[in-house]
Amino acid sequence: MAQPLHDDDPEPADRFPAGPLYVPVRPGPSGFVARLFRTPLGDRTAVGFTSVPRLTATLGPDQAWIRLAEPALRALTAPLGITTVTVDPQFSAPAPAPVEATNPVPTLRIA
């Protein structure tokens, strides 16, 4: 069954934008690897942005990226069990910083 056309959109209603996505990456043991994120419910997801300004607005100007088509991003993350691709997320929490204990917790010793 064909998808209906919308009055304000001359293209069929697609779940994903056409064209390559800007995918955030990080250094890995053999080069760069796609950064994976978590949804608000804790599920792992791949992330892609439709433009560099959207990527830098969410992840900062120092975030490295590559261009990948949505099907290629899905194929890359499928072996990891990741079936979700989030496009243009508008919020990203900072990475947790390690907490250093200022006062050691006393231990109870039984003689």
Dihedral sign from CA coordinates of 81, 84, 88, 92: negative
Q: How confident is the model at residue 104 (pLDDT cuts 50, 70, 90)?
A: low
pLDDT in tens, 57-98: 999 999 999 999 999 999 999 999 999 999 999 876 666 677
pLDDT in tens, 27-39: 988 899 999 999 8
Check whether 8 has a pLDDT greater than 80.
no
Question: What pTM, to 2 d.p., does this model score?
Answer: 0.67
- The pLDDT of residue 63 is 95
Q: How confident is the model at residue 110 (pLDDT cuts 50, 70, 90)?
A: confident
Taking the C-alpha atoms of residue 111 and residue 109, their distance in angstroms, rounded to an integer, is 6
- The pLDDT of residue 19 is 72
The full length of the chain comes to 111
- The pLDDT of residue 90 is 82
Q: Where are the alpha helices (DSSP H) in 1-111?
A: 52-59, 70-77
